[in-house]
Amino acid sequence: MFSENFIYFFTVQGFFIGIIFGILKSFDAMGLLSYTLIITAFFYMFGHIIVAFYYKTMNVKTYMFPKELHEKELDMFLHEIKKREQMMDKTIAALHHSLNEIHKIETAPTKKEHEG
């Protein structure tokens, strides 16, 4: 649908909604006319706003995404994460080894226990 057709369609919808609202809210001709004009103008302006935002987002969609640069950065981040995971694994293994050594020392029998 072309933008002009959308605005026309939205304006006609506003016109009929304005007539219905004017009949329900007003009992004289001036009230009916004023409600109809105000609501039709609102729908006309709102239609223009919708079309403007639509064209604004269409320009954003034509933006070329730098895929190669993005993939290189992601590969670099992945490499850094793997390096840090390996470093953490080594640290956890060393800590586990140290805790096992401490546990062996604490559970080893002392000289007093052998003499007793």
pLDDT in tens, 2-50: 888 888 998 999 999 999 998 998 888 998 999 999 999 999 999 999 9
Short-list 8, 16, 18, CA closest to 44: 8
**Shared domain check, 48 and 77:** no
**Shared domain check, 50 and 10:** yes
Question: Does 81 score more than 90 pLDDT?
Answer: yes
**Shared domain check, 52 and 2:** yes
**Shared domain check, 104 and 70:** yes
Tell me the C-alpha distance between 34 and 62, whole Å.
Answer: 43
Task: Please answer whether residues 15 and 40 qualify as being in contact, where contact means their C-beta atoms are separated by less than 8 angstroms.
Answer: yes
**Shared domain check, 69 and 51:** no
Residue range of the domain that includes 96:
65-108
Give residue 113's pLDDT.
Answer: 58
Q: What is the mean pLDDT of residues 61-73?
A: 82
**Shared domain check, 52 and 16:** yes
Amino acid letter at 105?
A: I
Q: Which residues, 6+ apart, have CB-to-CB distance to 19 below 8 Å?
A: 32, 36
**Shared domain check, 69 and 36:** no
**Shared domain check, 6 and 33:** yes
For residue 43, CA distances in Å to 19, 50, 101 come to: 13, 10, 79
**Shared domain check, 59 and 78:** no
For CA atoms 76, 81, 87, 93, give the dihedral sign.
negative
Tell me the C-alpha distance between 53 and 60, whole Å.
Answer: 11
**Shared domain check, 39 and 54:** yes
Give residue 101's pLDDT.
Answer: 87
